[in-house]
Amino acid sequence: MQFQTPLVPARLIRRYKRFLADIELQDGQTVTAHCANPGSMMGLADEGSKIWVEPNDDPKKKLKFGWRLIEHESGHFTGVDTSLANKVIKEALLARRVPGLEAFDTCRPEVRYGTNSRVDFLLSSAGQPDIYIEVKSVTLQRQAGLAEFPDSVTARGTKHLGELQQMVETGQLAVMLYLVQRTDCTHFDVAQDIDTAYAAAYQKARAKGVEVRCFAAQISPEHIDLGAELAIMS
């Protein structure tokens, strides 16, 4: 997935009200950027961090920059825009590049299911069970190489796990797919200490037949693409 507009480097001043970030551009100008991340962004919002933002000239948008990446001192990248996870997965699905999910007749996004919910993707094939896919963006790392989800309590995420389980119970297939938007992780686990309800729902859903998959992302200031599949610890 190519960024629509070339990203430009900046320095983070502060992130606040979840969706706002004050940043300093290379020319010294201070502006407010949109931060498309509803989570806590634990460990990702330190003052002075090098970040990459996407400019826009859309007159309908009040904020003219969107925060997309963090470039760590190690040279690794983290993608902070959670909405990009679905775009990366959609592109990979349509290109038949997600192992085990290559065979389908139709791929539909945002299909209603469960209780007032929309599944991220619904794969359908004639004569085969439908495949319901929920996608979550993962950015938390507290131990070297270990990606964790969630980074804050997520009642919505817990609800989605229950709804995937319901689909399995009706004879359909369901996949909980985590996209790790970091280039410095090799394995994945659920952050049980952060959200015990989510961790319990995760274990129950897996026991009932919901398939769990986790993939890395290939990230640069030019693009974000699907990477290798990562090991799942539990």
Q: For 197-219, write each residue's pLDDT tens digit.
A: 999 999 999 999 999 999 999 99
The per-residue pLDDT for range 126-146, each reduced to its tens digit, is 999 999 999 999 999 999 999
Please write down the long-range contacts of 88-92, taking CB distance under 8 Å and 24 or more positions apart: 88/1, 88/179, 88/217, 88/224, 88/225, 88/226, 89/120, 89/121, 89/133, 89/135, 89/177, 89/179, 89/226, 90/121, 91/1, 91/225, 91/226, 92/225, 92/226
Half-sphere exposure (Cβ direction) of 226: Cα atoms closer than 13 Å: 21
pTM: 0.96
Residue 200's pLDDT is: 98
- What does the domain layout of the chain look like in residue ranges? 8-79, 84-232
pLDDT at 115 over 90: no
Mean pLDDT of 5-15: 97
> Residue 232, class by beta-carbon neighbours within 10 Å (0-12 exposed, 13-18 middle, 19+ buried)?
middle
Percent of the chain beyond pLDDT 90? 96
C-alpha span between 101 and 226 (Å, rounded): 13
Strands 173-180 and 211-219: parallel
Measured between alpha carbons, how far is 216 from 75 in angstroms, rounded to an integer? 16
Whether residue 58 is predicted with pLDDT greater than 90 in this model: the reply is no
pLDDT at 170: 96
pLDDT tens, residue by residue, 21-39: 999 999 999 999 999 999 9
Q: Which CATH class is domain 8-79?
A: mainly beta
CA 44 to chain centre: 15
User: What integer pLDDT is reported at residue 53 of this predicted model?
Assistant: 98
More confident residue, 115 or 16: 16
Residue 114 has pLDDT above 90, yes or no: no
Query: What is the token pair recorded at 56?
Result: 């826009």
CATH label, 84-232, candidates 3.40.980.10, 3.40.50.2000, 3.40.50.300, 3.40.1350.60: 3.40.1350.60
- What pLDDT is recorded for position 89? 98
| 160-180 pLDDT, tens digit each | 999 999 999 999 999 999 999
